[in-house]
Structure 1
Amino acid sequence: MGQVQDIGMPHLAISIPYVFGLSVLTEVAALAAIGLVSRWGEVLPAWVPIVGGRRWP
């Protein structure tokens, strides 16, 4: 992952979940961006309580 450490690998246990979390966050942001420009970003899904199926301004 581009990290070189001479003192061993104590930070490896932190860096792997951190990079994985950033990857997941990036995917979620990309799907949200696609949703904003797609039809399913204009009309709320029917399964959403109270406002499902209505247009989202």
Structure 2
Amino acid sequence: MTIEELKAFYQKHAPHTLSAVHLLERSDIPDRDKVVIRANLERGVELIAQRLSAAR
């Protein structure tokens, strides 16, 4: 997912975690840390999507 897609998803479904997405845009965060942050955010998208479809 792109940063914009992550922002849109988290804005809609979990706005309290949106600050983590903004870490990906910061230049003072090492790239190796951004890889871990992005992986965790994308895993979060999967988990939220599973819960949303289970609730239907």
In the alignment of these two chains, the number of paired residues is 34
C-alpha RMSD over aligned residues:
1.6
Alignment of structure 1 residues 4-15 onto 2, 5 Å: 4-6=26-28, 8-15=30-37
RCO (CA 8 Å, sep 6+): is it higher in 1 or 2?
2
Runs of 4+, deviation exceeding 4 Å: none
With normalisation by structure 2, the TM-score equals 0.51
Higher helix share: 2
Q: Percent identity?
A: 15
**Unpaired runs of at least 5, structure 2:** 1-20
Return the TM-score normalized by structure 1.
Answer: 0.50
Who wins on radius of gyration, i.e. which is larger? Answer: 1
Q: Which structure 1 residue ranges, 5 or more long, are not aligned?
A: 35-57
